[in-house]
Amino acid sequence: MQTDRSAHEAWAQFLGLKGATAASRVLHILIARMGERNAVVISQGALADELQVDPRTVRRAIAMLRDHNWIQTVSLGGAKSGVQGYIVNSRVAWQGSRDGIRYSVFDAMVYATEKEQEPGTIEDQAPLHRLPELYPGEHQLPSGDGLPPVSQPFFHGMEPDLPATRRED
C-alpha cells in the first residue's frame, strides 16, 4: 500500500470537519481492503460491524468521503440493489503502479462477512467438482460409460481434451 504525502496533509485538514473521524475510520478500512485497482465491494453492514458503529454512521461517513472526493461509489446491479463498490481516489492511496487505475470499476476486491453469506458452512455443502491434475508428460485417457444417454464411443486418437489443470512439479 502506498500513500501520497500531500494526501496525508489533506487528510489532516479533513479530520477537522464535523463527522470526519468516522469517515476517516471508514476510509482506512476501505484502503486496507481494496484490491490492486483501488476498488472494494463491501457492505455498509460489514463496515459497521468491523468499526463497531451504527450503520447510519457508515452511511454518513460514505456520503462525506464521496462529497469530499476521497472515494467514488459505484452501484452494482442498480441503485436499488443496495450493493456498492467503493473506489479510493488514486491520488490518496494505491497498490502497485498507477497504470490502469481509471479502469478500477471493473476489478475489485469483494469482502463478505460470515453473517452476510447464506447459512451453513462449507463443510455442509456438496463438494465442488474438481478438475484432474496432469503432471508433465501425462495425457488424458477418458474411460467409462459416461452419463446417460449413452453416446457414441470416441474414435481412437480423437479423444476430447477435457478440462484439467497442469502441474509443474
One-letter amino acid at 69 equals N
Residues 64-113 have pLDDT tens digits of 999 999 998 877 766 565 667 777 776 666 665 555 444 434 466 777 77
Chain-centroid distance of CA 168 in Å reads: 28
pTM (two decimals) = 0.60
Question: Is the predicted pLDDT of residue 165 greater than 90, yes or no?
Answer: no
The DSSP-derived string for 55-74 is HHHHHHHHHHHHHTTSEEEE
